Structure 1
């Protein structure tokens, strides 16, 4: 039996020799994309969010950076900037890469090179995988730096979105029950040129 397109891409992804600091993702139907090492401002935001999330999660969950998650229904494999997932799922080698549907929250921090991917492609992919919450942190939003929380996935779309500007707080609902403070998020002037 001939392997499916998804199986072929996944096995190719597994065999890649990706340089340290780079990330390989399957974001489209027919390509594996390499992402460059992250900028300092990007890493700073990830650290701030990670710190706040750790205070709000259960002891048997983790906040993972650069954890590969699979979305086989749409033939994708993403490496979110942060993902909250049960520890037992992450440690289950039979499920590697971890299934997106086990995530409680996916976080993407938009870089200039990832605008379309994070804003459109991953938004739809996470909704199709029914990841309950998708947090998009976007210093490059044309209306000004913003944070969007997408909730209630259904039929490949999120039914509710809350948006705040950098500097404001955004509420993450249960199971987090957290007001995420964005006041220290660096705007575009703090990113590399």
Structure 2
């Protein structure tokens, strides 16, 4: 990272850390800007809750699932707050980090994004690209607004900024998540677009 770019990134990250964001909103950094993301709707929250519950039941005690954790993709100067993140709890306990520090995206095990009508394209393109570049080993895209019908896609094996594997499943069919998750995610209760 060039010196000027590093200074700008440090300034943006420090500003992001100090923001007082309204309850339910999320602040993210993308393309040199801090962006506020509005609270998701009921269907989105229902899906997030069901995925969270399924993961918590199957994860070993040293791994946690979180719905409000910032993740930093240093090489592309981005901070996202995925709808759900699975990460080793030891990373959150590191004494050299403040509470406001985002976790390096390369250290998370799974990033889950659930599309809303206003962000579906962004989740399908920019966030997918960023997670592959991090690289995040598993990315689950729950796309309620897919033009071919609501789907869940599990992306895995990131290599050179692209996922080599993707498994796309329509709502209503189970999605097998590999270890360390080792669970079949039921999707028949996921609400579609409204």
TM-score range, shorter chain: over 0.9
- Number of residue pairs the alignment of both structures matches: 188
CA contact (8 A) 2:143 2:152 kept: yes
Give 5+ residue unaligned stretches, structure 2: none
**Residue 19, structure 1, aligned to residue 45, structure 2:** no
CA contact (8 A) 2:32 2:77 kept: no
1:62–1:149 distance in 2 versus 1, CA, 3 Å: same
Give 5+ residue unaligned stretches, structure 1: none
**Residue 83, structure 1, aligned to residue 88, structure 2:** no
Which deviations, in whole Å up to 9, do the C-alpha atoms of 1:40-76 show, x marking residues without a partner?
Answer: 1111000100111112211011100011111111101
1:7 CA drift (Å):
1.3
Aligned-residue RMSD, C-alpha? 1.3
Tell me how far apart the structure 1 counterparts of residues 81 and 60 of structure 2 sit (CA, whole Å).
22
Moved over 4 A (4+): none
- The alignment's TM-score, normalised by the length of structure 2, stands at 0.92
Tell me how far apart the structure 1 counterparts of residues 159 and 51 of structure 2 sit (CA, whole Å).
26
Residue 87 of structure 2: SS of its match in structure 1?
strand
- The alignment's TM-score, normalised by the length of structure 1, stands at 0.93
**Residue 108, structure 1, aligned to residue 113, structure 2:** yes
Residue 51 of structure 1: SS of its match in structure 2?
helix
Q: For residue 176 of structure 1, what is the aligned residue in structure 2?
A: 181
Q: For residue 36 of structure 2, what is the aligned residue in structure 1?
A: 34
